[in-house]
Chain A
Amino acid sequence: MPESFIASFKRFRRSHEFWLLVVSLVLCAGLSLSTAQFLTMQNLFDLLTSYAFVGILALGLLVVLIAGGIDISFTATASVAQYVALAVANAYGANWITVCAMAIAIGGALGAINAILIQKLRIPSIIVSIATLNIFYGLLIFFTGGKYIYSLPDWFATGIFWFEFNWGKDTSYGVNLQILVLAVCFLLTWLLLNRTNIGRQIYAMGGNPDAARRLGFHIFGLNMLVYCYMGVMAGIASLVQAQLAQSVAPTVLVGKELDVVAAVVLGGASLMGGVGTVLGTFLGLALLAVLQNGLILLGVSSYWSSLFVGFVILVSVSVTAWSQRERHTKGTSP
């Protein structure tokens, strides 16, 4: 038992996730020492809440990348799902279940359109998703005129606040909608990828599509599932974002797709398919979140934040690529 534990730790030490974890922990330690506000319950809850939207999308994208595809239409999907679900809720009334069902159905349907175009017309996923990004977004703004929705149903605007507890004097904490949904999505994605047969098939298909086809995998079905999963995640994420922003703005989400891509690939997912973990995605997201949060807490003007983010992305991907090259030249397989 201890030996196998040591062996698995050794394997983990060589992995991309290990280095991410080290960098994140060093960053966290540094921030905890240099500013008192960083390691507080308040800050951690705020961080989770504000990064829930990107996090949920990142999970959907992770599954698509592992399957060997790419999707960048998800911001448009989220905008459509959000707008339609909440406009319908405003006009005809709805509750949590129906509004979630609507967002999930719209997201899933748009994801299915991507899957059909990619698989049936055999167009590369990057082309399809660039095209559908423009189609979904263009049509949404055309039909809605780009109008914001400011008044949301009361129950939606209030949100949820579970497991309330007190910490310190008089601040109470609880699990809000964003944190709850983020946690559920992480759990679901982890289960899908690590504990189901379909998850193994998705890894296998991303790693070698030809072999997967010859083994008799249902390629179309798998792809359909993967792109629908991305769409569903986009639908769910859009509700989380609307609840946090307390409004629906059809024009603000599109353009943020590369932030999500950055988090996922920083987490070690490969654009070639077959590689990527939920833990890695979490760490990639955490690194970006903690970095931006830390800069603000340290009093660095927010104008400079993307310079640091860019620098960290560049250094991190360079170091990873370099260390993998070293390993290749030494002849030990990863």
Chain B
Amino acid sequence: MKNVASIVRRISRQLGSGTTGTLAPLLIALWAGFAIVIGERFFSINTLQSMAFQMPELGILSLAMMLALLSGGLNLSIIATANLTGLTIAYLLTRYIPGTEGVAWVGVQVAALGVGFAVAALVGLVNGFVIAYLGVSPILATLGTMTLCKGLAIGLTRGNVISGFPDPIVFIGNGTVFGVPFALIVLAICALPVAITLNATPFGAKVYMIGSNEKATRYSGVDTRRILLKLYVLSSLLAGVAAVVMLARFNSANAAYGESYLLITILAAVLGGVDPFGGFGKVGGLLLALVILQVISSAFNLLNISQFLTLAIWGGILIAVAAVPNLRAWSER
């Protein structure tokens, strides 16, 4: 036990006092705690794999939410966008795939994904235009597009499920590459470019600047409106990727899938150190937060504890982590 404590202390010292400094020790403590309570079963291939299967949906959606949060905004329409995109793809696949072979078979799948992403981009354009060029507050604009997209999805499908897709699509959600779920690879494929864009491009720097002080950024000659428009399109496209993962995993699409994820994505992002008022937050922190949420959820599942208690614990952890900087300040006074 003493060893563990010293390791935790050393790691936390190396990571510094930021969010990672709080989250990494927390993750290690959780992992150690659950290892003691659950034992070997917690580290079995099955458990790890099921964790890796469950994380990507929430992960990609949280990335989409994070982008909007970084600019000081919010994107409430991500789930509705994802479902509308998913339904578009699902409709095209089920309508045109049967009876096709060879090149056409591949072509239809690629085209369906393409049209789906076009729908997602369109929603992003509407969000971006209304927020950046008309000056509507992001929460209102995206509340509107959320209701609109959901209404469109429900109206067109009458609340029905569209299911039954070709194998390559199903593979995205359920297949593995050398034991690693393909969906996790998709999450990595999304997270890496987002991290690079945010940290190593002028666009990313401007996003952080807008989040810190939009007016100052505009007055220093940055076309904030263009940046915001791009940002919301990007956020929507990530929701589109989440849509593909979701429809592949469930092998179906519906207007109401994943609705309970909406506020959880904000929870995950904020837990990962994203400032809800914008300007601060890293992809790494978000991923760490996602792993923490997933570890708790999977461990409780193995222990046969209600998933609703998991929700409560997630909420408690968010408050605890959010309170840490302030408690530190208190203890140093």
Chain A residues at the B interface, C-beta cutoff of 8 Å: 72, 117, 121-124, 126-128, 130-135, 137-139, 141-142, 146, 255, 258, 261-262, 265, 270-271, 301, 303-311, 313-314, 317-318, 320-322, 324-325
The answer on a CB contact under 8 Å between A131 and B318 is yes
A sample of 17 cross-chain residue pairs with beta-carbon separation below 8 angstroms, ordered by A number, consists of: A121-B326, A121-B327, A127-B319, A130-B267, A132-B315, A138-B308, A138-B315, A141-B308, A255-B259, A262-B147, A303-B159, A306-B147, A306-B151, A307-B155, A309-B147, A314-B126, A317-B136
Q: Does B39 interact with chain A (Cβ within 8 Å)? A: no
The answer on a CB contact under 8 Å between A138 and B311 is yes
Given A121-B319, A122-B326, A135-B312, verify A306-B150 contact (CB < 8 Å): yes
CB of B22 to closest CB in A, whole Å: 14
Q: Does B250 interact with chain A (Cβ within 8 Å)? A: no
Inter-chain contacts of A123 with B (CB < 8 A): 319, 322-323, 326
Which A residue sits closest to B317, measured CB to CB?
A131
The answer on a CB contact under 8 Å between A121 and B141 is no
The answer on a CB contact under 8 Å between A121 and B318 is no
Chain B residues at the A interface, C-beta cutoff of 8 Å: 76, 126, 130, 134-137, 139-141, 143-152, 154-155, 158-159, 259-260, 263-264, 266-267, 270, 276-277, 306, 308-316, 318-319, 322-323, 326-327
Inter-chain contacts of B126 with A (CB < 8 A): 314
The answer on a CB contact under 8 Å between A308 and B312 is no
Inter-chain contacts of A122 with B (CB < 8 A): 326
The answer on a CB contact under 8 Å between A310 and B149 is yes
Which B residue sits closest to A300, measured CB to CB?
B155
The answer on a CB contact under 8 Å between B312 and A314 is no
Q: Determine which of A138, A265, A307, A325 lies in contact with B310 in the assembled complex, contact meaning CB atoms within 8 Å.
A: A138
A309 and B327 alpha carbons, distance in the complex (Å): 44
Inter-chain contacts of A137 with B (CB < 8 A): 308, 311-312
A134 and B312 alpha carbons, distance in the complex (Å): 5
Inter-chain contacts of A130 with B (CB < 8 A): 263, 266-267, 270, 315, 318
Inter-chain contacts of A72 with B (CB < 8 A): 263
The answer on a CB contact under 8 Å between A303 and B158 is yes
The answer on a CB contact under 8 Å between A255 and B260 is yes
Inter-chain contacts of A265 with B (CB < 8 A): 139-140, 143
The answer on a CB contact under 8 Å between B316 and A314 is no
CB of A117 to closest CB in B, whole Å: 6
The answer on a CB contact under 8 Å between B322 and A318 is no
CB of B76 to closest CB in A, whole Å: 7
CB of A302 to closest CB in B, whole Å: 9
CB of A99 to closest CB in B, whole Å: 26
Q: Determine which of B130, B137, B310 lies in contact with A314 in the assembled complex, contact meaning CB atoms within 8 Å.
A: B130
- Given A258-B76, A314-B145, output 10 extra A-B contacts at Cβ < 8 Å: A123-B319, A127-B270, A134-B267, A134-B311, A139-B312, A271-B139, A306-B148, A306-B154, A314-B144, A324-B135
Given A127-B270, A142-B312, verify A317-B144 contact (CB < 8 Å): yes
Given A142-B306, A142-B308, A255-B259, verify A134-B314 contact (CB < 8 Å): yes
CB of B236 to closest CB in A, whole Å: 15
CB of B134 to closest CB in A, whole Å: 5
The answer on a CB contact under 8 Å between A313 and B147 is yes
Given A123-B319, A304-B155, A309-B147, verify A138-B263 contact (CB < 8 Å): no
CB of A208 to closest CB in B, whole Å: 17
Which A residue sits closest to B137, measured CB to CB?
A271
Inter-chain contacts of B144 with A (CB < 8 A): 310-311, 313-314, 317
Which B residue sits closest to A265, measured CB to CB?
B140
Inter-chain contacts of A305 with B (CB < 8 A): 151
3 closest cross-chain pairs (CB), A and B: A307-B151, A138-B312, A310-B148
Which of A133, A305, A307, A309 gathers most chain B CB within 10 Å? A307
Which B residue sits closest to A146, measured CB to CB?
B308
Which B residue sits closest to A320, measured CB to CB?
B136
A306 and B264 alpha carbons, distance in the complex (Å): 23
Q: Determine which of A128, A138, A318 lies in contact with B130 in the assembled complex, contact meaning CB atoms within 8 Å.
A: A318
Q: Determine which of A121, A307, A320 lies in contact with B152 in the assembled complex, contact meaning CB atoms within 8 Å.
A: A307
Given A122-B326, A310-B147, verify A321-B155 contact (CB < 8 Å): no
Which A residue sits closest to B306, measured CB to CB?
A142
The answer on a CB contact under 8 Å between B311 and A318 is no
A128 and B310 alpha carbons, distance in the complex (Å): 17
A142 and B308 alpha carbons, distance in the complex (Å): 6
Given A134-B315, A258-B76, A313-B140, verify A321-B134 contact (CB < 8 Å): yes
A124 and B318 alpha carbons, distance in the complex (Å): 12
